[in-house]
Amino acid sequence: MLMKKLNRRRLLATALGAGSMAPALDGTPQREPSSSATTATDFARSFLYYVPRSTSLWVRIQIECRCQIIDVASGAADEYVLGVRTQTGLRTEPPSEHLDPGYDFWLIFSRRSIFIRRVHPSWYNDNSSRVPVGEFVESGWRLEPCPAAPLRTGAEIEAALRAWRVVVARTEFASRDRARRYIIDYPVKWADGNPDGTFRVETGPVLMLDPDRIQVGNLLQLTDFRWAYLDYRSFDQVRCLLERPTSILTGSTYKASAFSPRRNPALTTEQVARIEERLYQGWTPPIPAEALRQLFQTDHYSETVKLAARTTLYALMPSSASGRRA
């Protein structure tokens, strides 16, 4: 088999480093709902795909999140689609089953570029990249529309959760001058429904862009995207847990509760300061000081912002093949 000749890491490196392809259109043929029906994306049946130039493989990846930045005046829009996370750790040549710490990676598809984000144990190792879509024979995405019912109250959300309905959401942000809208569609993976009519959604990851800074037509860099998890209890505000490079010492002073004790004792802030002083001061490191700090950083959700937003939740209509409770 071909996969015996090319392990995943080598295949991805070959595919992403390999001249024109069809535009990354939103859709191979899809089932068309009636024009009057409410629909939402069924993420369990929505996929990215690509065909590398170097092999005959046809690669399919489940979609995690769909993002659109829209110019309100013209209606022009750019679209970005995030695939689910996968992992690799095969480094040897020729390939073997030996694993090093490896990395997680995600693909983001757009109509002009495919972004590859690689997350290592250390921020210093970052080798994320952007590749023109012309490096592939073909690539794109397929979003599967599904009949859906909007959930307008906490009681409706609780009923949908208790009925084991698949729930998805659309959250819309606006630039301060209202000239641009930023919309994300995503599956709801964790949610609370309560008898008193309140609710809470905790889900992600999703892609975040800054509509005050990003405009339609911009050729983005991977650093323009921010990974986030969402946490909200209303339809008009979202708490965003943003990821950023973070010292591995962050959180080492946290004292856990009796119900979840730490394996190792918490450090004091003074101990952390002494460790950092020893790492970064009083000597001439073999690499620049900023790079040395990156060596002891990793990607982590360590910043929280609350943003005004408009969120709509949808319960997908059950299919004829219903699941069974385990």
Report the C-alpha gap between 317 and 34 in whole angstroms. 14
| 76-128 pLDDT, tens digit each | 999 999 999 998 866 677 767 676 778 899 999 999 999 999 998 899 998 89
Residue 27: count of CB within 10 angstroms of its CB: 11
Q: Quick one: tokens of 257?
A: 């509760």
136: amino acid identity, one letter: F
218-240 pLDDT, tens digit per residue, is: 999 999 999 999 999 999 999 99
Residue 277 pLDDT greater than 70, yes or no: yes
Q: Say which DSSP state 84 is in.
A: P
A 10 A CB-CB count for 214 gives 17
Check whether 39 has a pLDDT greater than 50: yes
DSSP 8-state assignment for residue 223: G
Residues 6+ apart with CB under 8 A from 286: none
DSSP 246: E
| Strand 297-308 with 310-316, pairing | unpaired
- Residue 31: phi and psi, rounded to 5, are -70, 130
What local confidence, expressed as pLDDT, does residue 35 receive? 41
DSSP string computed for 104-172: EEEEEE-SSEEEEEEE-SSGGG---EEEEGGGEEEEEEE--EEEEEEE-SHHHHHHHHHTT--EEEEEE
Helix (H, G, I), strand (E, B) or coil at 268: coil
Q: Cis bond leading into 205, ω under 30°?
A: yes
pLDDT, tens digit (0-9, with 9 covering 90-100), for 145-197 = 999 999 999 999 999 999 999 999 999 999 999 999 999 999 999 999 998 99
Which of 18-27, 108-117, 273-282 bottoms out in mean pLDDT, i.e. has the lowest? 18-27
Burial environment of residue 46 by CB neighbours within 10 A (0 to 12, 13 to 18, 19 or more): buried
Q: Long-range pairs for 237-241 at CB < 8 Å and ≥24 separation?
A: 237/306, 237/307, 237/308, 237/309, 238/171, 238/306, 238/307, 238/309, 238/311, 239/304, 239/305, 239/306, 240/208, 240/304, 240/305, 240/306, 240/307, 241/204, 241/301, 241/303, 241/304
